[in-house]
Amino acid sequence: MKVIFWLSLFVILYTYAGYPILLFLWSKLSTKRVNKGELNPLPLVSILIAARNEESNIGKRLENIANSNYPLEKMEIVVVSDGSTDGTANIVKEYVDCEGETASTIDRSKVIVKLLELPESRGKASALNEGYKIARGDFIVFTDSRQEFEQDTIRNLLSNFHDESVGCVSGELVFFRDTGSKIEKEMGFYWNLEKKIRKMESDTGSVVGATGAVYAVRRELYPQLPDGLILDDVYVPMKIVCKGYRTVFEGAAIAYDKISEDFTKEKSRKVRTLFGNYQLLSYMPELLSPTKNPVFMRYFSHKILRLLVPFFFVAFFVSSFIADGFIYIATFFMIGLAMILPVFEKAISGVPILSVISKLSKTFMHLNYFAVLAFLLLFRSKNEKVW
């Protein structure tokens, strides 16, 4: 039991603290800079949006992209309506010239908008594949209907492609403040840590995924996505990394989004994402091979261990109760206390130390609970389309 205790503790600490510390030291000892610069001449860029029932967002999204400071004549927006049953396609059509099925301009600008309507929902991956077929850009920028770009986001993404070793660029997702979310501080802490890890991964080579709301690839490196794929923002970057190119993080390419209202709302999104990591291994088994995956160590540390932590945590908790010795029983009671604190969150809100421990414990427990739910999805008879 003592071996299980210390092994479990090591895995948990390494996943959340050891790996970031290792990256920090690595980034200080050996930085792999990106040779950024404006591409000359400026290339045509395609902004690809797969949308399903997004009538409340799509119009604002098109206007936001059209207001970028990238030359409008060098930009096209491709919207794929994946079997939408609301007014998504009709809203996009308002921006599309009736002279052609897919080519036109947004009012007060020169940017081209293309609309592709799929009669039935085939899933996001299939929609992206279809959109890629009609996109003409030398570079493809992937985003969703809900977010907002900073005006210089597209320029900042593309500047990294001045370095020929770069095949994919991930932007940064920033959450709006004061949204009324009950978990703003908890998720803010988690996401800030995630962004620091991605930046350090980029500084030392490649990140092991992109931000789905804002990332770009060289057109010729885009891989056809398997039907039903959940994590295009990991599959695409890792396919590109396995071809010998870098996937880098650009903190100045910003997309804004809202934090979920509470953990209940966050649950479906997070479980879906975590399950997508399991699914990804069936499509790319080479990710688990140190000889085929150039970033195996960081992929295993960043993606795989997070799926395993809840099981190691249970082993850690149980072994602390069974093992003989003061340190083990003390650990058992400390874990129990940390798990109970969120129940008294309001009562201890005025005690800074206890309040912080409570929020961290609550976040840890929820995220690992979601990881268990994602694991259980493996035993479903058939995967569903994911949006």
Cα 48 to chain centroid distance, Å, stands at: 16
Mean pLDDT check: name the lowest of 64-73, 217-226, 286-295, 296-305.
Answer: 64-73
Cβ atoms 175, 48 nearer than 8 A: no
Per cent of the chain over pLDDT 90 is: 73
The highest-confidence range among 187-196, 329-338, 378-387, by mean pLDDT, is 329-338
For residue 291, pLDDT beyond 50 = yes
Instruction: Give me the pLDDT at residue 382, please.
Output: 57
Residue type, 13: L
Listed by start position, the domains of the chain span: 2-15+294-379, 45-261
User: Of 93, 22, 20, whose CA–CA distance to 55 is shortest?
Assistant: 93
User: Which CATH superfamily does the domain covering 45-261 fall into?
Assistant: Spore Coat Polysaccharide Biosynthesis Protein SpsA; Chain A (3.90.550.10)
Distance CA 4, CA 320 (A): 9
Confidence of residue 355 (pLDDT cuts 50, 70, 90): confident
Instruction: Give me the pLDDT at residue 362, please.
Output: 85
121-178 pLDDT, tens digit per residue, is 999 999 999 999 999 999 999 999 999 999 999 999 999 999 999 999 999 999 876 6
Instruction: Give me the pLDDT at residue 102, please.
Output: 41
Instruction: Give me the pLDDT at residue 183, please.
Output: 64
Confidence of residue 108 (pLDDT cuts 50, 70, 90): very low
Query: Mean pLDDT, to the nearest integer, of 180-186?
Result: 63
For residue 207, pLDDT beyond 50 = yes
Instruction: Give me the pLDDT at residue 296, please.
Output: 97
36-81 pLDDT, tens digit per residue, is 999 999 999 999 999 999 999 999 999 999 999 999 899 999 999 9
CB atoms within 10 A of CB 352: 9
More confident residue, 62 or 356: 62
For residue 386, pLDDT beyond 60 = no
Confidence of residue 98 (pLDDT cuts 50, 70, 90): very low
User: Of 226, 225, 224, 221, whose CA–CA distance to 245 is shortest?
Assistant: 221
Query: Mean pLDDT, to the nearest integer, of 243-259?
Result: 94
Mean pLDDT, the chain, whole residue set: 89
Instruction: Give me the pLDDT at residue 374, please.
Output: 94
Instruction: Give me the pLDDT at residue 188, please.
Output: 66
Instruction: Give me the pLDDT at residue 99, please.
Output: 42
Using the 8-state DSSP alphabet, how is residue 183 labeled? T
Confidence of residue 180 (pLDDT cuts 50, 70, 90): low
Cα 320 to chain centroid distance, Å, stands at: 35
Distance CA 215, CA 140 (A): 8
Cα distances from 57 to residues 83, 144, 184, 255, 257, in angstroms, run: 16, 10, 22, 14, 12
189-203 pLDDT, tens digit per residue, is 777 888 999 999 999
